[in-house]
A and B are shown apart, each in its own frame.
Chain A
Amino acid sequence: MNAVTGDGAESPEGGPPGNVALAVDGLSVAYGNVVAVHDATFTVTEGDACAITGPNGNGKSSILMGVTGMVRRHGEVTIFGAPAKNGDVRWAARHGLTLVPERRQLYPDLSAADNIILGCYTWTKSIGKARRSDSYGRAVDLFPELKPHLKQAAGTLSGGQQQMVAIARGLAANPKILAVDEPCLGLAEVIAKRVYDVLAQIHAAGTTLIVVEEAPRRALTLCNRRVEVRNGMAANSSPGSAA
């Protein structure tokens, strides 16, 4: 169905040669017989904020699922120079790539604080270490509006609060690259703006960002790079300008 080719243009415009944070080469993801992504090739430079845009159902999320190892893939993925193990989320997280998934995927009966601290599970099994860690502290501090709700079951929070918990959980994993999938799906405009403000803060603090968005307009207020996905094919575009 998704007949596809990959346009493997390297970092455009010959920009400053930063470290390659993530290199994806010939990535394909299939669910049974349905091919969601075919032969996608792109790179993300350290410090980039990269938007992956395109209509729904075109394989944007599947790219992230394949890259982070949530689903098995074909093709090469390299994270900070190390070839990523296929289907191993923990490996990707330990090497700096963490996913904040579509629809958040929280644990509804656990408290917001427990949801966030489980992000630390990628690098420790000690709850004491997790609680004392900078990454957990930073994740909680980034969302002052969550403070009064930390003991509340995550399933009872509002959609915006849940999205913040999901982002905080991602940060608790101490990522160098944070991949955020449709962060504003179903959120009111004010909340969506707040989510983007936080993402900008995270980016400003030095974390490389990958944001999957259906609507490129919002994503491009933040992002300097764009990967456009059509029918499961990914193509690099020039920085920011392609809106």
Chain B
Amino acid sequence: MKFGNLVIAGIVTGSIYAMFAVCVAVWYRVSNILNLAVGDFAMVGALSVDNLYRVKGLPLPVAIITTLVVVAAFAYLYDQVVLRLAQDGKRPIEGIVVTFFFTFALSFFIDGVAKMLFGSDVHAAPALWNGASLTLGSLNFVRAGILVLACAVIIGGAFWLYIRFTLGGKALEASGENSVGARIVGIDTRQYRRLIFIATAVIAAVFGIVESPITGYTYLSGATISLTGFIAAAYGGFRKPGRALLAGLFIGVLEALLGGYVSAQYGDTVMYAILAALILAWPRGLGFESAVSG
């Protein structure tokens, strides 16, 4: 049952794209910055756990917790130093520089540090749930894939509950919708910029750790994941997290099917051609006009 297994694999990668796309979209609504470093945090998560566990010999839970704490602390510092200077000063920088440049630079920075610390070979965090794939009829479920999906459902569900049922979640939505209106009721948009950025970094690291046993990462793997999450977020004009989520899943499945049926080598090329064609055929429906007009 090749088709079924491809779809399952696609949903697993798609759920990662979807989570990253949601993170990118939610953060953009709050901060007007596109997070182009989200995949790099995933890469750092995977390679750092591998390094601490395999090379430094730390117990696995310690390696994971250390990694997540370091990632969170780094994200906090980055917000406090770079983003605060860029956006919160007396003369905030606006426009394209802030939207792209700082996180783009961050992505390169993280890659460089990762190369220095972890080398340039393919590595992966150790599998958290060992054993052969589970089967259901002719369908195969890789255990790491099940964990990825579980993380996506748990983290996504927690986020949904936060938005839906807490005043803080509604305040987050409000600051995405109308920053002036948000300030009137005392919502500190900067606080959400910091919170979402740190959460995104940690979530990305978690997915990197859980998923890396399937694909393996090098210090350059982050950029590709960021790009796909970024494109998924673009469906919906970076402003509709729900659409970003669907687009992420769709891209994951499309990628798996093209890789399986068309060509493992040129699958990505065909996929980007299809994505581009969809945008051209249907710009308004997919939210690209709002992406352009902001």
Contacts and interface: CB of A to CB of B under 8 A. Distances in A.
For B171, B177, B183, B186, the residue with the greatest tally of chain A CB atoms inside 10 Å of its CB is: B186
Interface string A113-152: 0100111111011110010000000000000000000000
For A90, A107, A119, A120, the residue with the greatest tally of chain B CB atoms inside 10 Å of its CB is: A107
* Size category, B interface: 10 to 19
Interface stretch (A47-55, A78-86, A98-106): A98-106
5 interchain residue pairs of minimum CB distance: A90-B186, A105-B181, A107-B177, A127-B167, A122-B186
A106 B181 contact: yes
Interface string B170-207: 11011001101111111110000000000000000000
B186 A89 contact: yes
A29 interface: no
Interface in A92-112: 93-94, 98-99, 101, 104-110
A170 to B, nearest CB: 8
Contact of B170 (A94, A106, A118): A118
A169 interface: yes
B266 interface: no
Contacts of A108: 177-178
Given A118-B167, A125-B168, A110 B185 contact: no
Contacts of A70: 180, 183-184
Nearest to B166: A127
Interface residues of A, number: 30
A110 B186 contact: no
Nearest to B239: A109
B167 A130 contact: yes
Interface of B (DSSP majority class): helix
A179 B265 CA distance: 64
Nearest to A131: B167
B185 A169 contact: yes
A73 B165 CA distance: 37
A152 to B, nearest CB: 15
Contact of A105 (B166, B168, B171, B180): B180
Given A89-B186, A90-B186, A169-B185, A121 B167 contact: yes
A90 B188 contact: yes
A101 B184 contact: yes
A104 B180 CA distance: 10
A125 B188 contact: no
Given A108-B177, A127-B167, 10 more contacts: A68-B184, A89-B183, A105-B180, A107-B174, A109-B177, A110-B173, A118-B170, A122-B186, A126-B167, A173-B185
Contact of B174 (A118, A120, A122, A173): A118
Contacts of A130: 167
B171 A118 contact: yes
Contact of A110 (B177, B180, B183, B184): B177
A124 B174 contact: no
Contacts of A94: 186
Given A110-B177, A127-B165, A105 B170 contact: no
A124 B171 CA distance: 12
Contact of A114 (B170, B186, B187): B170
A70 B171 CA distance: 17
15 contacts: A68-B184, A89-B183, A89-B184, A93-B186, A94-B186, A106-B178, A107-B181, A109-B173, A118-B185, A119-B185, A121-B185, A124-B167, A127-B165, A127-B170, A169-B185
